[in-house]
């Protein structure tokens, strides 16, 4: 995968001393799953079996990763994915931005990119389940909690 990949899009280009740093998105699913695990560890998520993460990525409708490229080195700095019926509904899962890159609007840009992609596939119902501390983040992006009293519900075994 490279920035010339049709699945990739350059977001920003920053020249810093002699090195150019680029932030770009990719929808390529061929992600190093240990690098993804490192990213998820950095935000304190519980570890998940690599085998299941691979399966989840393969069976997601859309995967958007965010990368920083400095010279030849690429670093995974953000991730998100969505499940879907490819027709009406999509549900966004696993939105993560590396703590070193938070507070720069990159999470917002990642989400905009994901929503735009979903909309371009004619998905009208874009949904997610937000932890309490990110409800306002999503609200600012145009997500509404409990619209018309619709409740997000989770099943728990007895």
Q: Catalytic positions, please?
A: 138
If one asks whether residue 120 binds a copy of itself (CB under 8 A), the answer comes out as no
Closest to 109 (Cα-Cα) out of 27, 25, 13: 25
- To a copy of itself, the closest distance from the beta carbon of 89 in angstroms equals 6
Tokens of 94: 């696993």
d(CA 32, CA 54): 10
If one asks whether residue 7 binds a copy of itself (CB under 8 A), the answer comes out as no
If one asks whether residue 58 binds a copy of itself (CB under 8 A), the answer comes out as yes
Contact 50, 34 (CB under 8 A): yes
If one asks whether residue 130 binds a copy of itself (CB under 8 A), the answer comes out as yes
Which residue do the tokens 């560890």 mark? 41
- To a copy of itself, the closest distance from the beta carbon of 134 in angstroms equals 9
- To a copy of itself, the closest distance from the beta carbon of 20 in angstroms equals 34
DSSP 62: E
If one asks whether residue 127 binds a copy of itself (CB under 8 A), the answer comes out as yes
């Amino acid at each position: 995968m490279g920035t010339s990949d049709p699945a990739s899009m350059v977001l920003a280009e920053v020249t810093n001393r002699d090195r150019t740093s680029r932030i770009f998105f990719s929808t390529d699913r061929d992600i190093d799953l240990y690098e993804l695990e490192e990213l998820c560890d950095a935000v304190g998520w519980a570890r998940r079996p690599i085998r299941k993460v691979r399966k989840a990525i393969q069976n997601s409708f859309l995967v958007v990763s965010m990368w920083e490229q400095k010279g030849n080195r690429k670093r995974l700095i953000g991730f998100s994915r969505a499940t879907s019926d490819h027709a009406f509904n999509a549900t966004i899962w696993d939105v993560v931005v590396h703590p070193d890159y938070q507070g720069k609007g990159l999470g917002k840009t990642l989400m905009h990119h994901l929503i735009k992609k979903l909309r371009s596939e004619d998905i009208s119902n874009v949904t997610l389940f937000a932890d309490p501390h990110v409800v306002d983040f999503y609200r600012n992006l145009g997500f509404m909690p409990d619209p018309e009293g619709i409740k997000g519900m989770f099943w728990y075994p007895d």
